[in-house]
Structure 1
Amino acid sequence: MNILFATPECAPYVKTGGLGDVSGALPAALAALGHDVRVLLPAYKGMKVAGDIGEGIEIPAYGHWPAAQLLPVRVSSGVTMLLLACPSLYQRDGGPYVDANGRDYEDNVVRFGLLSRVAADLGTRDSPIPGWRADVVHANDWPTALAPMNLARARMGDPQHHVAASVVTIHNMAFQGVFPMHDAEMLGVPHHWRGIDGVEFWGQLSMLKAGLQFAQAITTVSPTYAREIQTPEFGAGLDGVLRARADRLSGILNGIDDQVWNPAHDTQLLHPYTVTDLAGKARNKAALQKQLGLKVSAKAMLFGVVSRLTPQKGIDLVLQHLDALLADGGQLVVLGMGEPGLQEALVDAAQRTPKQVHVTVGFNEQLAHRIEAGADCFLMPSRFEPCGLNQMYSQAYGTPPLVAPTGGLADSVVDATADARNGSGFVMREPGASGFAEAVARARQAFADTAAWRRIQANGMARPFGWAASAARYVEVYERAVALAR
């Protein structure tokens, strides 16, 4: 089938988190199954996309929307990128959503309203691409979530239903694209859809709610998160909408790009290794310790963190239990950025104990890979985690993760204490400080038993975290959505 994958970010071209990784890997997995997949993405400043560039397709100015252009680029994965070029909206010095000072762009409603409108147009008989119309428009998170509403409106005016089905995927309920209701006119929201049964959210307009209300299917990135977001604790005010549409909601665990994240041929590593020969992992640990100025010691248990530095990610728990992590010569390596208070506390710890703690504020792709390979145990004590990818990378790299019992973390890590035969990491028995401390103690105990630790490493490295199975599940969702849209 013809699949349009609409997204605000896509690795390796532009990425702020897991959505970027999914947008880079899932379309390629769908293309490998024989589908015609096109990824719609804004043409941000500084993006470099290698491939065969086709002739630009003009998108005329319309209403409040400026003129734009679609630039098709066929990339090596077999996917066609459709870069939405509109310099006044996307050629900026900041990131996809925020300016160089970290503030939301004031016109995000226009920037992503246009992205959603073009996504929907590609699923109608008025598709701007001659001879190509999407059978399914797959919208990802709030920046594309108006597409299902726009398709629903198009369907009302097309009695023959030459209109694509729509699927919306929630990557994180915390971000909903909420704007003043007076923007509804500019966005083309019909008056009868501006109430509580439509896009209205506490007197404002929620782009994500529009997607949830009008899509034929809703997915999220793990089975546990699909259950969690139907509760007030995790639903961010939209749990009632999700309960009402529970029959359309599926939780499909994300995969990872097992060509990029594979220690046997990871070009970012100094020493490749496999599950049958872990000598390279030990050498990577020593190299990481040397690179970061830590004491070079095979016996020191090295904990790794690659994360946004926020309470949601449980970074405050890491700080609270730093003494336990550093006991008996333990070490901690952190890569990330986030809340100033947490950053400063971590940097201060590194300055106090430079042979045991190293903190890099920012992001470095090479260092992220080297931490996954060089650490002994990877920490992810998140308070909520829709899916998470680092716990999968860690298992693939023989670095047992320590995770909270939430979302995709609970779905993808087998606790080694509860299941000694199949265990691949350590799942906190309860969220919060006491659960983290107890899990750290269990991880330390297992690390001291070389045979037990090797078994945990081998279990993780043997698990299939590629995209093939999840891509097949998405195809099933698309087929159901198409049937419902008819």
Structure 2
Amino acid sequence: MPSRNVLKILMVSSEAVPFAKSGGLADMVGSLAKHLAGLGHDVKMLIPAYRGVDYTREESINVSVNVGFRTENTVCGRTTLAGSNVSVYLLEHPYFTERKGIYGNEEEEFFADNAKRFALLSRAAFSLLRAIDWKPDVIHSHDWPTALVPVYLRTLERNQGFEGTISLFTIHNIGYQGIFSLHDLHYTRLRLKDVCLEKGEHLEQLNFLRGGIRCADYVSTVSPQYAREIRTTRFGHGLEAELEKRREDLFGILNGIDAEIWNPETDSYLPLNYSKTSLEKKLQVKTILQEESGLSVDPGIPLIGIVSRLVEQKGFRELCGPGETALKDILDRGDCQIVILGTGEKWCEEVLRSLAAEYENLRVRIGFDEKLAHMIEGGSDFFLMPSRYEPCGLNQMYSLRYGTVPIVRRTGGLADTVISREEDPARENGFLFEEITGEAIRSAVAEAVRIYREEPDRILRMRMNGMSEDFSWNHSAERYVELYRYGLRRGRHPDTEESFDIQA
């Protein structure tokens, strides 16, 4: 363990803002790296140089990576993460530079060679570190694309100068595991049992995520509740047994939000800025949102916002899927308005378009619109998130910061951030429901609308409580530093002959 206060941290990820993004992983990695550096730590990052990524090259480093039956001679371009002193290394290889897309594209939803692409990225981390002669205290990798980083550290790289380095592997969504054919094993140069999916007594497929869970010194996920949930059959997606074995080394740290971008006092997308002491301006934002969305302008009717991927995980099957009438029933009551922004599964987009054409109190925008997303957070009275599961969730935290009361299912990060009256009347900031059913969604919305009309002072307290919470990355980054230091004090996860013995 280093005696100095400054930690040397390498982030390895398949995506990071502002270079490449497909979801919340990119936001987390970019923000965490920046805030760790802001705390005074020495942070570097490795990501792929995907086609179309535009960056200012400050240096080129030749990197030779041993994979498959050959050595891949690659180049890492170095740049600096804007607003920080984080050095970002972008791995240039035809696997990344000669096609569009991160994991797939319109022609190929999931690239057939993803196992090779991300095994190369994971092994390249160690080649890069040797090339720049920099030995980190912690290598922090994220989700299945870089799950082999801790596997390599535990196996092929463990006696190659990284004896004092620990690995932290963060699971952002356990539903995506990186499952591949056994034919891809040779490219990784790893042993079968380090990256396999067990089905009974048979070893049938490679599972990158499973390998990361088994081999990482420490494992984290993006909320305390999700860390508990993924150890259960209901949420573990087949890896609950592996996670239960690692329960002493498994931690949940809530993601933060970018408090500069998501701040109602300074948000440039809002026509008026407001704070806890000027909530009357929020009502004016609501009026403008109603006007711009084509809803009838009525400050007295509760406005419910949704900004989401339109997929089953987010609860849309229960909200408006085949045979489900929850959304229609809510609209039929006529006592609220709903505005929805998002894109996703075709069936869901078609159903929502059809409902919007039928109901005057529903407006739907298919696609993504950054300004409208901010307007919905700022102008809505409530924000609905009926997720089947939600590892962390960001929109409920945006909503709380904007004084928009969340209506959410009690799962994952939603349960960690939204506080019901039953839990703590003094800190109540939202509405939670337990079951993922259409009836549960209907009942929760009806209760929120009733409280809005009958107990306005309670709604005001909920708004104020939410706006008083601190969900900034400063707090989350400090938690990660605590975990890094804890891991360095405890040392590396002990090897076992059965799990980690490898071939030369």
TM-score, normalised relative to structure 2: 0.89
Letter in 2 for 1:81: V
1:373 paired to 2:394:
no
Q: Distance in 2 between matches of 1:194 and 1:303?
A: 45
Q: Distance in 2 between matches of 1:167 and 1:339?
A: 33
Distance change (3 Å), C-alpha of 1:312 and 1:196: closer
Q: Distance in 2 between matches of 1:453 and 1:167?
A: 41
Q: Distance in 1 between matches of 2:223 and 2:192?
A: 35
Please give the secondary structure, in 1, of the residue aligned with 2:206.
Answer: strand
Letter in 2 for 1:472: E
Q: Distance in 2 between matches of 1:435 and 1:379?
A: 12
Distance change (3 Å), C-alpha of 1:18 and 1:416: farther
1:244 paired to 2:245:
yes
Please give the secondary structure, in 2, of the residue aligned with 1:110.
Answer: helix
User: What are the superposed Cα offsets for residues 146-200 of structure 1, whole Å, 9 maximum, x if unpaired?
Assistant: 0001111245434x65452111000000000000112111111135636679xx9
Q: Distance in 1 between matches of 2:422 and 2:159?
A: 58
Please give the secondary structure, in 1, of the residue aligned with 2:251.
Answer: strand
How far the C-alpha of 1:242 sits from its partner, in A, is 0.5
2:225 maps to: 224
Letter in 1 for 2:83: S
What aligned pairs does 1:162-181 form with structure 2 within 5 A after superposition? 162=163, 164-181=165-182
* Correspondence for 1:35 among 38, 41, 46: 41
Distance change (3 Å), C-alpha of 1:175 and 1:300: same
1:436 paired to 2:441:
yes
Q: Distance in 2 between matches of 1:61 and 1:245?
A: 30
User: What are the superposed Cα offsets for residues 49-86 of structure 1, whole Å, 9 maximum, x if unpaired?
Assistant: 4xx64211112364446432211211213322222222
* Correspondence for 1:139 among 138, 141, 151: 141
* Correspondence for 1:77 among 65, 75, 84: 84
Please give the secondary structure, in 2, of the residue aligned with 1:82.
Answer: strand
1:267 paired to 2:268:
yes
2:394 maps to: 389
1:15 maps to: 21
How far the C-alpha of 1:202 sits from its partner, in A, is 5.4
2:430 maps to: 425
Q: Distance in 1 between matches of 2:362 and 2:381?
A: 14
Task: Report if the CA contact (8 A) 1:68-1:84 is conserved.
Answer: yes
Q: Distance in 1 between matches of 2:186 and 2:234?
A: 32
Please give the secondary structure, in 2, of the residue aligned with 1:182.
Answer: helix
Please give the secondary structure, in 1, of the residue aligned with 2:233.
Answer: coil
Deviating more after overlay: 450-459 vs 186-195 = 186-195
1:55 paired to 2:20:
no
Distance change (3 Å), C-alpha of 1:195 and 1:397: closer
RMSD of the TM alignment (CA)? 2.3
Please give the secondary structure, in 2, of the residue aligned with 1:442.
Answer: helix
Task: Report if the CA contact (8 A) 2:267-2:273 is conserved.
Answer: yes
TM-score, normalised relative to structure 1: 0.92
Letter in 2 for 1:444: V
How far the C-alpha of 1:275 sits from its partner, in A, is 1.1
Q: Distance in 1 between matches of 2:376 and 2:492?
A: 46
Q: Distance in 2 between matches of 1:213 and 1:451?
A: 51
2:3 maps to: none
Q: Distance in 2 between matches of 1:191 and 1:78?
A: 39
2:4 maps to: none
2:299 maps to: 298
* Correspondence for 1:456 among 445, 459, 462: 462
Letter in 2 for 1:220: T
2:410 maps to: 405
Task: Report if the CA contact (8 A) 2:95-2:117 is conserved.
Answer: no
User: What are the superposed Cα offsets for residues 13-72 of structure 1, whole Å, 9 maximum, x if unpaired?
Assistant: 3222221221121111211111111121112223344xx642111123644464322112
User: What are the superposed Cα offsets for residues 259-305 of structure 1, whole Å, 9 maximum, x if unpaired?
Assistant: 11111111222211111101331222122222222222212221111
How far the C-alpha of 1:481 sits from its partner, in A, is 2.9
Distance change (3 Å), C-alpha of 1:122 and 1:27: same
* Correspondence for 2:131 among 128, 131, 141: 128
What aligned pairs does 1:94-105 form with structure 2 within 5 A after superposition? 95-101=101-107, 103-105=109-111
Letter in 1 for 2:131: P
1:279 maps to: 280
Q: Distance in 1 between matches of 2:195 and 2:86?
A: 36
Aligned residues: 476
1:234 maps to: 235
Task: Report if the CA contact (8 A) 2:67-2:120 is conserved.
Answer: no
How far the C-alpha of 1:209 sits from its partner, in A, is 0.8
Consecutive unaligned residues in structure 2, runs of 5 or more:
1-6, 494-504
Task: Report if the CA contact (8 A) 1:405-1:431 is conserved.
Answer: no
* Correspondence for 2:419 among 414, 422, 427: 414
Q: Distance in 2 between matches of 1:61 and 1:162?
A: 20
Letter in 2 for 1:286: T
Q: Distance in 2 between matches of 1:418 and 1:152?
A: 43
User: What are the superposed Cα offsets for residues 112-159 of structure 1, whole Å, 9 maximum, x if unpaired?
Assistant: 111111224345xxx222x4222211010000010001111245434x
User: What are the superposed Cα offsets for residues 301-341 of structure 1, whole Å, 9 maximum, x if unpaired?
Assistant: 21111111112111133333224433335221111112211
Q: Distance in 2 between matches of 1:418 and 1:194?
A: 42
1:337 maps to: 343
Q: Distance in 2 between matches of 1:192 and 1:20?
A: 30
Letter in 2 for 1:401: P
Distance change (3 Å), C-alpha of 1:375 and 1:152: same
Q: Distance in 2 between matches of 1:179 and 1:191?
A: 12
1:89 maps to: 96
Consecutive unaligned residues in structure 1, runs of 5 or more:
none
